[in-house]
Amino acid sequence: MSGQRRFERRFEGPSDLHLHSLRSDGTEPPETVVRAAHRYGLRTIALTDHDTTAGWAEAAEATTSLGMTLLPGMELSAKHGWRSVHLLAYLFDPDNPALRAEMERVRTDRMGRAERIVRNISRDYDLSWADVVAQTSDGATVGRPHIADALVARGLAVDRSAAFEGILHPREGYYEGHYAPDPLTAVRLIVAAGGVPVVAHPTPAGRGLMMPVPYLEELIDAGLAGFELDHRENTPAGVAVLRGIVERRNLIVTGSSDYHGLGKPNLPGENTTSDEMVERIIARGTGVAPVFP
Ligand code: AMP
Ligand code: FE
Ligand code: FE
Ligand code: ZN
Q: Is the pLDDT of residue 236 over 70?
A: yes
- The answer to whether residue 292 scores a pLDDT higher than 50 is yes
User: For 170-200, how does the pLDDT look when each residue is reduced to its tens digit (9 = 90+)?
Assistant: 999 999 999 999 999 999 999 999 999 999 9
Which atom of ligand 1 approaches the CA of 75 most closely? Answer: 10
Which listed CATH number (1.10.287.1770, 3.90.230.10, 3.20.20.140, 1.20.120.430) goes with 3-102+179-284? Answer: 3.20.20.140
- All CATH 3.20.20.140 domain ranges of the chain, comma separated, are 3-102+179-284
pLDDT for the residue 2: 44
pLDDT at position 206 is 63
Ligand 1, atom 18: nearest CA belongs to which residue? 161
Give the mean model confidence (pLDDT) for residues 151-170: 97
pLDDT at position 3, please? 44
Indicate whether residue 143 lines ligand 1 (CB < 6 A): yes
- Top-level class of domain 114-172: mainly alpha
Give residues with Cβ within 8 angstroms of 147, minimum separation 6: 114, 117, 118, 121, 127, 132, 135, 163, 168
Task: Give the mean model confidence (pLDDT) for residues 78-102.
Answer: 97
Centre of ligand 4 to C-alpha 20, Å, is 6
On whether the CB atoms of residues 258 and 167 are closer than 8 A, the answer is no
As annotated, the residues of the chain forming the CATH 1.10.150.650 domain(s) are: 114-172
Checking if the pLDDT of 278 tops 60, the result is: yes
Question: If you measure from the C-alpha of residue 122 to the centroid of ligand 3, how many angstroms do you get, rounded to a whole number?
Answer: 27
Position 258 scores a pLDDT of 98
